[in-house]
Structure 1
Amino acid sequence: MRPTTRSRPRLLAAAAAVCSLSLALAGCSGTTKGDAKDDAKDKAQGVKADPDAPLKKGLKLAFLPKQINNPYEKIVDEAGIAAAKEYDGKAKEVGPSDAKASSQVGYINTLVQQRQDAILIAANDPNAVCGPLKQAMKQKIKVVSYDSDTDKDCRQLFINQASSEEIGRSLIRRTAEQTGHKGEIAILSATQNATNQNAWIEFMKKELKKPQYKDMKLVKTAYGDDDDQKSFQETQGLLKAYPKLKAIISPTTVGIAAAARYISDSSYKGKVVLNGLGTPNQMRKYIKDGTVEEFSLWDPKKLGYLGSYAAASLASGQITGKEGEKFKAGKLGERTVGKDGEVILGPPTVFDEKNIGKYDF
């Protein structure tokens, strides 16, 4: 029956009264100021960790590397996918074929639609992926960055290979020993916005300010965009532009391998020091032929393994990402969440002619 004109005010008044009561209880389709604070980090801070909670069965995890064809990140992701089987989880790797800042955004949106329990991302850009990652956290999807961090408000945890300061400063220290603390040096990085690269480079510059490096000069930071051919060309460009160059430091596995390939077949072999971060299998031949004396890296398999367990612990409620929380990372043992949600794998290993034969990755 359609209400009469006379009865409508009564109905409206009754509805208003119901809505008023509902607002007090549940909001009546409105939001309070407290409800409006739907940022995922704020919500996470209100949740208490249960360290005794078991890891949930059937968790769905997705690894999103900088680029799908990066040999180093393939090792990391495959180790994380294998680790998920230990706790009856299901993990996969998805990602772009290039390392552009915006290339990962579409993949994040798809993973949110697929209702993954956790997304693990090695960010190409700390800010470009923030919006989509925050949306993921609002949907109660856990976000873990690894290898290359996002802004700290866009994830719950960051799985760091080693202390950024230790990596940056040690690369300068070891390169300086090879050059006699003298000469011009250059850096061959990945992308301009890569969080990990920029953090390491910043500490390299700070280390260079010490008195013992007064005769060393950083002349250029070049970017190979984690592309083999571009990194090769950038190496060539550095050596031509700076004929007095004594060393190149490349803190990226793609970059150091491409630089080594160029130097090994040039007149610069044995004259220009090449140091940085690489995998033993990529760099083995360059150690053996004398192109490179040493390089560093952590175990990427352990990095992926740790990331997998950290994400599972988050998704199971064992931890929330707060400093001081502890969780068990399978065969790696107990780990502690540090400041700003950082979990550190451990110090890097230096590879040279004496020990490189012991490693296969």
Structure 2
Amino acid sequence: MKGRTAITVLILAMAALIGTVVAANETPVVPQEFSGTVTINGNPAPAGTVIEAFIDGTSYGKLATESTGVYGGVEIDDDRLVVKGGGDVIGKTITFTVNGNKAAKTAVFSPGELGNIDLSVQAGGGTTPGGSTGSGSSGSGGRDPSSPREVFPDVRTPASPDVGTTPLTTTSTGTVDRDAAVVSSDRIATLSVPEGTTARTSEGTPLTSISIRPASPAEVPAATGETGFVAAGYTYICEPASATFNPAITLTFAIPPEVWAKEDISTLTVKWYNPKTGAWEDLETTVDREKKTVSARVSHFSTFALFVEARAPASGDVTPTTTATPAPDGEETPAIPWTIMGIVIIGAGIVVGGYLWKKKQN
């Protein structure tokens, strides 16, 4: 009886230890990252501008800009605004401040996502998430009216294209009466709208602004049904969705020289994603070898991407294999941690040893 009791205690202890190891190996909440444009009093914010993210009045991330008018970026080594929160703030609203002034735009904390938010503030106004204001008595936590007010440099709005979003000046019928252009935050994709274009929303009303931004990995539709072509890594979302243009406007991709040298440029093509058919469809594409650009005519807004012809594997290429077992939902089943496997093996040895010892005693 004593031998059986000892074995039971060992089994319970082993189970408790395994539970502790599993809890210690739980995946932590990954941060959410943001990039975009930033303006103060309608002008591009100077380098050194401080952007801060708050959730329920508590700061969860801060960034000082390195370039005029933008923060963050889409490259892997870009210094984006990183919001680090735990599981208790998932789904909560993120508010932003620019040099202490509250921005109108907000976001929802979604761990692991790359967000693109254009921030705009009026210097010296608005309420910060902590409850203070840009003006008022020092006793209330704001700026003393008698103290010098922080003045930002008068930075001229750069020549077109604007970054991220640009307004359109249109007539009552939607005819654009001034050339306009907007470039994505990574400076790759540019939309050009010439004077005389009829620009309307999906409801047929005059279009007042347009925007373009890099799509996050989660926003890139799968290339279902594509044969012979693969995505070249440049995908952009143009908004407002389903806006129309007559005649068509121009979407231009400025390809970095190092990428241009690697790709077979004669096979580059621009496609748009058709949500009704769930497929990527070709656009008439123009390649400018001298300027290293790829352009297409766009008559309506959607998600656009650059594709390149798939290359057949060389005879010496080896197709990599994986030993991961697919889970029922299509995700890979993670390998059992070696720590847990070791505990299980040791525990099994103890149980078997105890059983043999008891049998010998009998």
User: Whose helix fraction is larger, Structure 1's or Structure 2's?
Assistant: 1
TM-score by length of 1: 0.23
TM-score by length of 2: 0.23
Q: Which has the higher contact order (CA 8 A, sep 6+)?
A: 1
Greater strand proportion: 2
